[in-house]
Amino acid sequence: MLRFPGGGLMLQKDFRRLAMILLFAPFALWIALLVVLPHIGMIRLSLREKVAPRVYEFGFANYLDFINEPIYWNTLLRTGSMSLLVTALALLIGFPIAYYIAKLASNRTRGALFLICLIPLWVSDLIRAFGWILLLRETGVISSFLQWAGIVNQPIEFLYNDVTVIIGLVYTVMLFMIVPLVSTLDGMDNSMIEAGYNLGGNGFTVLRRIIVPYAMPGIVSGCIVVFMLTAGSYLTPILLGGKNSSWFTEQIYNQFITRFNWEAGAAFGILLLLFTSTVIWLGLKLSGQTLANTVAKS
């Protein structure tokens, strides 16, 4: 120790570094094995062209296929725009709820409200979709009720159209919008809102200039999560959708499973990832937020 004054120190430093490595190794491994490697595999697969059974060549045919087939990119655009609509609706409905939970509700009602938002997630996608089917079908609860109440004199089909898909998706993703919103709004000092009024703002001004800008990180993070979940959802659009409601994940599934075309499926998967990433990047740019102060925070 005395002869090698730096020795002990070095040892300690090395030890600490080793501890850090050991601590992060599982996490890094997890990221590498479950996120990075599969995507590299997907990219490789997507750049393969099938020329004959068991014979493949490198090429961009799968991507060209996508570009040359309007059905594919139309479906992707449709999926994207409907996901944006779902995100917007979830925000419009979720914001007042989140505001109520964070600012107005007593502790007890808060818990109850959170629970109500959580309930949809307790049952599987499939059960949830069948729940909607039971309610909305021609001979379902709502149609029967309307007939019983004498509002309509014929059964009405609410199922199998885009509106149903959107309702079902909004219902599913609501919690993911509300949680980040509540957590940012919760951190907002009430006096901020009072100051907004005190300085002469009316309700709308306070909402637009103070509450919304303050909640922006929560809004953006909720929107990102909801948009990703929606664009990547499979069962809800398939089960509730009508004859024309194509969803891009359905096409990926079809490529992989019914058409045994893994190459095209992989290409579609990569394209979906790129598409959603681009939309989110644009959203971040437009709202002036970064990933670090939105998703990472809430």
Which of 6, 53 has the CB closer to other proteins?
Answer: 53
CB of 297 to other proteins, least distance (A): 14
Which of 107, 244 has the CB closer to other proteins?
Answer: 244
CB of 287 to other proteins, least distance (A): 12
Report how far residue 235's alpha carbon sits from residue 238's, in angstroms, rounded to the nearest whole number: 5
CB of 261 to other proteins, least distance (A): 6
Backbone angles phi, psi at 48, to 5 degrees: -105, 135
Which of 171, 256 has the CB closer to other proteins?
Answer: 256
CB of 259 to other proteins, least distance (A): 4
Which of 147, 254 has the CB closer to other proteins?
Answer: 254
CB of 42 to other proteins, least distance (A): 13
Residue with tokens 């090395």: 14
Q: Where along the sequence are the contacts to other proteins (CB under 8 A)?
A: 23, 26-27, 30, 53-54, 71-72, 74-75, 133, 137-139, 157, 159-160, 189, 191-192, 194-202, 205, 209-210, 213-214, 216, 238-239, 242-244, 246, 251, 254-262
Which of 7, 155 has the CB closer to other proteins?
Answer: 155
Which of 120, 161 has the CB closer to other proteins?
Answer: 161
CB of 13 to other proteins, least distance (A): 22
> Angle 70-99/212-231 helices, nearest 10 degrees?
140
